[in-house]
Chain A
């Protein structure tokens, strides 16, 4: 059962790594804007002009 001592240490360490990762993301500003990226990802790289106009009328 002494292996539990080691496992407990591991579990706390892993949890700490995730906590650290969360703080890094927070500091990095990843939670500052939680809306715009969801829109941004839907933009196509380049849409053909003529095609886009047709889409525009038909929808």
Chain B
């Protein structure tokens, strides 16, 4: 036990690991940064659960604030949330973003120690979900959630239930198919081996049996495992369009028919091994492609931003109501920090709405009585009352999602499908030419076998494999760097980008980091007074300022008074101190900005702590790097106060548009696409949602991937933004790799076709050629991806 570890241990909060402020709380010889952390520790120690701290150092999360969970007493809302209920027990699954380490697993699986009525809880760590079983006679759902919240694991309950929508039935069916195909392939290989090694006269009697067994194994593979290829091929032919599945379906059909004929007429070995191997590999490729991120949802819409329920006032009584049940004319009560769920008219109270997520405006907006408040704003201040004018599903914001015409004119065709057409034509030309030649030679058996052999050998199996393997290898390189792309198709879109559009608030600036500076002057003694006052407030701004001040001691305070969202005041050492926003000050002050924390001591204005939005790190070099290769554009919903600053970063010719509404942003993207631009949009908020969806490649920037992000093609961590040019380069290199592997595959195919057109393709050659070309291609793609990742310094 070294001294340095000890001092390190004691300088951070025992619970959450944050740096301890100079004035800290102590309990049981352990130091805590705030009341919240200490209370979690107390709950755990009372319940004999301090093991939580044994598995990891400082595993805790800082608790934000008390939640309001009255709505969880409503039977209709409970019914929406729970998975299962019988006479005694209820099972419910929650998504808990805070789950991050083994201590979390331990704690959440020992909830029964806190409340024995919660008799079982299981965590799925990768999905960050906990499934809780409890006796609903003894404990209510609300109580369960409150227990979770008390220990710092608040479940995310939103209108779009991520937990239930993410069913993986499709994926499961694919695994069934892979298992069957693999099983059949193994057995067919076993029964084909004697054929490979040559049969002695004694073994000849088994040949017939082996052939029939192989055919039997080919039946489920063809008609169950490969069914999707047939349906997809038929569907695409109906639309007079050839996709990659068309030639694949043809090959599978030809292989099966040839195997069946040779078995029934006993004309020699069939292609059972090739058929089952092909289907197995194809399904594997599909599976690699379908690999998804457990903890990230790319298809979130406004519903996952909204809460599931809201408080309404009926006959001056508060009643929680599900958002979907809100009707026009309802009276809503919105507390400090809550969201406005529907377009409504302000009826009572002082509304200061933070619309930054909806419109991109950084400053909160004040609304006067009778004014319309749009859904999505967050109230900062006292509770307000609103009257609903439009139900949540028809609000101004949700209209962005309900539009059907997204990307209608941007056909997303990937490399595979575009080449499939030429590939199919090439195969048919060769196959018919060979058939024609043998028919002209009056050799109809050879004509038939040449035709089928050409189709079999020219299998685009490699194409179907190289794309998913290459692209998914690139996806995993990306996700280690904090860039999560939805799927491999999206990655191909990324490679084609030539225009990049930026949002400003939350994208070029960070919502996370902010810089606090003081305008005015405070003496050291006065700083202590201010800190003593702020020490009592849980408001995030107070905490931030307190961190900057970092006082050495805290004075006692008298007559403390907090006006929610406005400010705080109190008497410290006999001096009256006020800290808060300008509009709440009891008198006029010579300050120009309203925002920030204004300080008044003994009726004398001292100055203001202002919070500056900070530009993300490395923006200037990023823009410089992108400027050469791409057309850039900025679409901001905010006012043009930062125009000068942006102009210094971007090229003078870059268009910078301000005061853009969500719909204007969407139209702007469409206008670019109309000029044949491949547009990438980087945004973060709901105001960018339409543009992100319309863009060829939409990236949602976020500081915490567990936070809400609008629907998009990729989610990027703010810290990874500087790597964007490298990401684009790697995706382009990936497409290059696919094209090279296609060339390699063609070389293999030409060798095969050489034998095939002569009608002398022996099944063994086909069975050997296919795996060899597959192995070559897969090793080539993985080596090439590694090489390119290294070259782009992403590994």
A positions within 8 Å CB-CB of B: 1, 4-5, 8, 11-12, 15, 19, 22-23, 26, 31-33, 35-36, 39-40, 42-44, 47, 49, 52-53, 55-58
Does A57 contact B180, Cβ atoms closer than 8 Å?
no
Query: A5 and B209 in contact (CB under 8 A), knowing A26-B172, A57-B5, A57-B6?
Result: yes
Does A23 contact B179, Cβ atoms closer than 8 Å?
yes
A-B contact pairs, 15 of them (CB 8 A): A1-B205, A19-B180, A23-B176, A26-B176, A26-B179, A32-B124, A35-B125, A35-B126, A36-B124, A43-B55, A44-B51, A53-B53, A57-B9, A58-B1, A58-B5
Instruction: Tell me whether chain B's interface is mostly helix, strand or loop, or mixed.
Output: helix
Q: How far is the CB of A6 from chain B (nearest CB, A)?
A: 12
Inside 8 A of B206's CB, which chain A residues have their CB?
4
A40 to B124, CA, bound (A): 11
Inside 8 A of B213's CB, which chain A residues have their CB?
8, 12
Q: How many residues on the B side are at the interface (Cβ–Cβ under 8 A)?
A: 35
Inside 8 A of B187's CB, which chain A residues have their CB?
12, 15
Does B209 contact A57, Cβ atoms closer than 8 Å?
no
Inside 8 A of B180's CB, which chain A residues have their CB?
19
A19 to B182, CA, bound (A): 10
Does A47 contact B54, Cβ atoms closer than 8 Å?
yes
Over the window 47-78 of chain B, the binary record of Cβ atoms lying under 8 Å from chain A Cβ atoms (1 yes, 0 no) is 01011011101000000000000000000000
B490 contacts A by Cβ under 8 Å:
no
A11 to B53, CA, bound (A): 53
Does B125 contact A56, Cβ atoms closer than 8 Å?
no
B84 contacts A by Cβ under 8 Å:
no
Does B172 contact A39, Cβ atoms closer than 8 Å?
no
Q: From A1, A39, A57, give the contact of B125 (CB < 8 A).
A: A39
A44 to B50, CA, bound (A): 13
Query: A42 and B102 in contact (CB under 8 A), knowing A33-B126, A36-B123, A57-B5?
Result: yes
Q: From A33, A47, A55, give the contact of B124 (CB < 8 A).
A: A33
Does A49 contact B172, Cβ atoms closer than 8 Å?
no
Q: Which residue of B lies closest to A43 (CB)?
A: B106
B202 contacts A by Cβ under 8 Å:
yes
Over the window 102-125 of chain B, the binary record of Cβ atoms lying under 8 Å from chain A Cβ atoms (1 yes, 0 no) is 100110010000000000001111
Q: How far is the CB of A3 from chain B (nearest CB, A)?
A: 12
Q: Which residue of A lies closest to B216 (CB)?
A: A12
B436 contacts A by Cβ under 8 Å:
no
A33 to B122, CA, bound (A): 11
Inside 8 A of B674's CB, which chain A residues have their CB?
none
Q: How far is the CB of B592 from chain A (nearest CB, A)?
A: 51
**Other than the known A52-B54, A53-B54, what 9 A-B pairs have Cβ atoms closer than 8 Å?**
A11-B190, A26-B179, A31-B175, A33-B124, A43-B55, A43-B102, A44-B51, A49-B50, A57-B1
Over the window 124-139 of chain B, the binary record of Cβ atoms lying under 8 Å from chain A Cβ atoms (1 yes, 0 no) is 1111000000000000
Does B179 contact A19, Cβ atoms closer than 8 Å?
yes
Q: From B51, B57, B127, B179, give the contact of A47 (CB < 8 A).
A: B51
Does A19 contact B5, Cβ atoms closer than 8 Å?
no
A40 to B679, CA, bound (A): 46
Q: Which residue of B lies closest to A2 (CB)?
A: B205
Does B102 contact A39, Cβ atoms closer than 8 Å?
yes
Does A15 contact B183, Cβ atoms closer than 8 Å?
yes
B186 contacts A by Cβ under 8 Å:
yes
Q: How far is the CB of A19 from chain B (nearest CB, A)?
A: 5
A19 to B186, CA, bound (A): 12
Does A26 contact B175, Cβ atoms closer than 8 Å?
yes
Does A52 contact B51, Cβ atoms closer than 8 Å?
yes
Inside 8 A of B6's CB, which chain A residues have their CB?
57
Q: How far is the CB of B155 from chain A (nearest CB, A)?
A: 17
* Interface hits, B190-248 → A, CB 8 Å: 190, 202, 205-206, 209, 213
Does A8 contact B209, Cβ atoms closer than 8 Å?
yes
Does A39 contact B105, Cβ atoms closer than 8 Å?
yes
A30 to B394, CA, bound (A): 42
Q: From B48, B53, B105, give the contact of A40 (CB < 8 A).
A: B105
Q: How far is the CB of A56 from chain B (nearest CB, A)?
A: 5
A53 to B54, CA, bound (A): 7
Inside 8 A of B209's CB, which chain A residues have their CB?
5, 8
Q: Which residue of B lies closest to A38 (CB)?
A: B125
Q: How far is the CB of A57 from chain B (nearest CB, A)?
A: 6
Query: Can you list the 5 inter-chain pairs with the closest CB atoms, starting with the nearest?
Result: A52-B54, A36-B125, A33-B124, A58-B1, A39-B102
Does A1 contact B202, Cβ atoms closer than 8 Å?
yes
Query: A19 and B183 in contact (CB under 8 A), knowing A47-B51, A57-B6?
Result: yes
Q: Which residue of A lies closest to B101 (CB)?
A: A39
Q: Which residue of B lies closest to A4 (CB)?
A: B206
Q: How far is the CB of A42 from chain B (nearest CB, A)?
A: 7
A35 to B102, CA, bound (A): 11
Which of B48, B53, B186, B202 counts the most chain A CB atoms within 10 A?
A: B53
Q: How far is the CB of A16 from chain B (nearest CB, A)?
A: 8
Q: Which residue of A lies closest to B126 (CB)?
A: A35
Inside 8 A of A36's CB, which chain B residues have their CB?
105, 122-126
A15 to B54, CA, bound (A): 46
Q: How far is the CB of A25 from chain B (nearest CB, A)?
A: 10
Inside 8 A of B57's CB, which chain A residues have their CB?
56
Q: How far is the CB of B598 from chain A (nearest CB, A)?
A: 44
Query: A49 and B102 in contact (CB under 8 A), knowing A26-B176, A36-B124, A57-B1?
Result: no
Q: Which residue of B lies closest to A59 (CB)?
A: B57
A26 to B542, CA, bound (A): 52
A47 to B180, CA, bound (A): 46
Q: Which residue of A lies closest to B175 (CB)?
A: A26
Inside 8 A of A32's CB, which chain B residues have their CB?
124
Does A40 contact B176, Cβ atoms closer than 8 Å?
no
Inside 8 A of A55's CB, which chain B residues have their CB?
54
A19 to B177, CA, bound (A): 12
